């Protein structure tokens, strides 16, 4: 089997006007994501556009982006839990002012206590700088 490489400088749709079709591909793709083990020493199990994770104490994590977002108006979606052992709900929220270079999250249990869960998943959408 022979491998192929596709290299392009510009991607346009069939009408060559860079219409909404190609903007959905570029604009709608995730720009960063992380699967974090938050218990013990925080470890990025796998990630995209994440240079490091800072442990800010129980349930507090800062994700430092490798490539900054273009502004602070990006969007994050998340979930967390402990591999089949989570007995109450979880939610995550920004814990500091948003910046283009990092996102600090507070991971909270259903009883509103901060928690270091074994599995924390966050995905980011927005425009990169």
Query: Does residue 122 register a pLDDT over 60?
Result: yes
Encoded tokens for 61: 């994590």
Q: In what order do the strands lie in the sheet with 102-109?
A: 50-55, 60-65, 102-109, 90-94
* Model pLDDT for residues 39-83, shown as the tens digit of each residue: 999 999 999 999 999 999 999 999 999 999 999 999 999 999 987
Secondary structure (3-state) at 109: strand
Nearest to 105 by CA among 31, 30, 38, 28: 38
97-108 confidence digits (pLDDT tens): 999 999 999 999
Alpha carbon of residue 122 to chain centroid: 4
| Model confidence, pTM | 0.80
Categorize the per-residue pLDDT at 32 as very low, low, confident or very high, splitting at 50, 70 and 90.
very high
The model's pLDDT over 86-100, given as tens digits with 9 standing for 90+, comes to 788 899 999 999 999
What residues form DSSP beta bridges with 53? 63
Place of tokens 């013990």: 40
CB-based burial label for 122 (10 Å; 0-12, 13-18, 19+)? buried
Cβ neighbours, 10 Å, residue 109: 18
More confident residue, 101 or 24: 101
How do 60-65 and 102-109 pair as beta strands? antiparallel
Contact 31, 125 (CB under 8 A): yes
């Amino acid at each position: 089997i022979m491998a192929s490489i596709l290299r392009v400088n510009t991607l346009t749709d069939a009408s060559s006007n860079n219409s909404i079709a190609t903007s959905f591909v570029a604009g709608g793709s995730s720009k960063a994501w992380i699967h974090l083990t938050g218990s013990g020493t925080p470890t990025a199990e796998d990630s995209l556009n994440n240079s490091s994770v800072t442990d800010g104490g129980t349930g507090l994590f800062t994700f430092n982006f490798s490539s900054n977002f273009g502004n602070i108006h990006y969007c994050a979606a998340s979930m967390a839990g402990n591999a089949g052992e989570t007995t109450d709900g979880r939610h995550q929220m920004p814990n500091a002012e948003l910046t283009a270079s990092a996102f600090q999250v507070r991971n909270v249990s259903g009883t509103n206590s901060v928690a270091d869960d074994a599995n924390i998943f966050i995905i980011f959408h927005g425009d990169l700088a």
